[in-house]
Amino acid sequence: MNKKYLYIETFGCQMNVHDSEQMAVLLEPSGYTLTDDAQKADLILINGCSIREKAEQKAFSELGRLIRLKEKKPELIVGFAGCLAQHLGRKVYSRVRNVDLVFGTHNIHRLPEMISACEQERKKITQTNFSSKITSLNIFAPPLHGSISSFVSIMQGCDNYCAYCVVPYLRGPEMSRTPDDVIVEIQKLVESGIKEVTLLGQNVNSYGRKLQQECNFVSLIKKINDIDGLERIRFTTSHPRDLSDDLIDCFASVPKLCEHIHMAVQSGSDHILKQMNRGYTAEDFLEKVEKLRHVCPHISITSDIIVGFPGETQEDYQATIDLMEKIRFDLLFSFKYSARAGTAAQKLPDDVPTDEKNRRLKDLQALQNIHTQEKHTALEGSVQEVLVEGRSRNSEQDMMGRARSWKIVNFKGTPETIGQRINVEITRGYLHSLRGKIKEN
Ligand code: 5AD
Ligand code: SF4
């Protein structure tokens, strides 16, 4: 078989990153090897995200740039994938004419047949139908050589219908994989050298709700904790409304579970939270944070916030700032609201002017930087367990890994430490990372 090259560009969330890994694995038997040079590619896949307008624009501008490679290489196949492709279907062709293949999140497992049809027939293929099974998630993607950490999807889709969000329309209804499938996948990953897994789902707290066998997220975590050779467990993302006391207790009682939770608050205003259909108040959220900190005092808490949701007044925005001041997140991902087609919020007037959205976002991010820096400075002098992932990007002599809190730690070290959990004394807390030195026992 001829050696062929595959170039994948991924936008958006960790689900998309994981989907791209699966695409690469599925195409290996068809002779495709991954390359990071688009010029060399025989097949280019753009895995686009549609969650926010900006992500959509970025994916299209990349598609526009990469499709031009066809001028010099007409046999090049270009595919558009992910939830953005799911959303737009055939409309992709009216925006970028020369695309060969458009396929959605439920059709990844069909990729080899779709590519073979493209190669042989050179006709456009569109596959964006939903499946009632979760076939795509059960593709095993062996980790890249030398990887220490891997994502594992435990569910797909979402039933929450937050007013601003397209995910339920594009990734379909929530479906959980069986615990056996998840466990077998993790065992295989561990055999291939993986030490840390991040369990992925739009709302992991509701894992198992529709499974025939009795298994909720807490029992799944406990089963995973028993896997020999696995050293760390993480998960993302949690809906605050569904965060149970049992799950909170896991941060104290399940040894491999790392002390970090990503839990999107979205707003600190009860009025806006109601409009967003989030199902909790700012006070409820604060209570969950207090419980988490009571059970696990050093837990790192990260979150998402949207500014400029329809109807957000200066008072609503101030309520978000007040909540941030009370909680002091370790890290925050913040976004300007953008209306998405088909969502409930799209029907509301997008009435916060762009300049005002920009100002709110800028001020909120400046405040968050203060909080993050404060947290990182407070860690100076502490000893953190670091799972070493590889060389640091900053310097040849430095290695990097993550503390249990998910914070990046750089330190002077040698590649022999890769894959090991070592103790590092933090010498300096920067805004985006920590610096430390190996603590000799
Ligand atoms: N506009 C802005 N931000 C959004 N998010 C989701 N939908 C939108 C939207 N329409 C943000 C939320 C979510 C994160 C993944 O993206 O904060 O938690
Ligand atoms: Fe979107 Fe809400 Fe589902 Fe998250 S929980 S994916 S924000 S609908």
Task: Return the best residue to mutate from 304, 331, 340, 354 for the ligand 1 pocket (most ligand atoms within 8 A of CB).
Answer: 304
Model pLDDT for residues 231-282, shown as the tens digit of each residue: 999 999 999 999 999 999 999 999 999 999 999 999 999 999 999 999 999 9
Please report the pLDDT score of residue 300 as a whole number. 98
**Does 158 contact ligand 2 (Cβ within 6 A)?**
yes
DSSP conformational letter for 209: T
Please report the pLDDT score of residue 50 as a whole number. 86
Per-domain boundaries in the chain: 4-127, 145-377, 383-438
d(CA 159, CA 234): 22
Task: Return the best residue to mutate from 165, 236, 262 for the ligand 2 pocket (most ligand atoms within 8 A of CB).
Answer: 165
d(CA 305, CA 322): 13
Q: 136 falls in which pLDDT band (50, 70, 90)? A: low
More confident residue, 336 or 137: 336
Per the prediction, the chain carries an average pLDDT of 94
Find where tokens 């050293």 sit: 231
State in Å: Cα 145 to ligand 2 middle: 33
Alpha-carbon dihedral 431, 324, 53, 38, rounded to 10 degrees: 20
**Does 66 contact ligand 1 (Cβ within 6 A)?**
no
Model pLDDT for residues 374-385, shown as the tens digit of each residue: 999 999 999 999
pLDDT > 90: percent of the chain = 80
Model pLDDT for residues 295-306, shown as the tens digit of each residue: 999 999 999 999
**Does 335 contact ligand 1 (Cβ within 6 A)?**
yes
Model pLDDT for residues 325-374, shown as the tens digit of each residue: 999 999 999 999 999 999 999 999 999 999 999 999 999 999 999 999 99
Question: How buried is residue 337: exposed, middle or buried, by Cβ count under 10 Å (0-12/13-18/19+)?
Answer: buried
Please report the pLDDT score of residue 121 as a whole number. 85
Model pLDDT for residues 259-273, shown as the tens digit of each residue: 999 999 999 999 999
101 alpha-carbon distance from chain centroid: 25
**Does 168 contact ligand 2 (Cβ within 6 A)?**
yes
Average pLDDT over residues 95-101: 92
Average pLDDT over residues 403-416: 96
**Does 239 contact ligand 1 (Cβ within 6 A)?**
no
**Does 265 contact ligand 1 (Cβ within 6 A)?**
no
**For the structural domain made of 383-438, what CATH number should be given?**
2.40.50
Look up the CATH architecture of domain 4-127.
3-Layer(aba) Sandwich (3.40)
Model pLDDT for residues 2-44, shown as the tens digit of each residue: 789 999 999 988 888 888 988 998 999 899 999 999 999 999 9
- Homologous superfamily of 145-377: tm_1862 like domain (3.80.30.20)
pLDDT for residue 139 is more than 80: no
How many CA atoms lie less than 13 Å away from 226 in the CB half-sphere? 7
Model pLDDT for residues 33-47, shown as the tens digit of each residue: 999 999 999 999 999
Please report the pLDDT score of residue 88 as a whole number. 87
Q: 395 falls in which pLDDT band (50, 70, 90)? A: confident
Model pLDDT for residues 57-77, shown as the tens digit of each residue: 999 999 999 999 999 999 999
pTM score: 0.93
Closest atom of ligand 1 relative to the 165 alpha carbon = 7
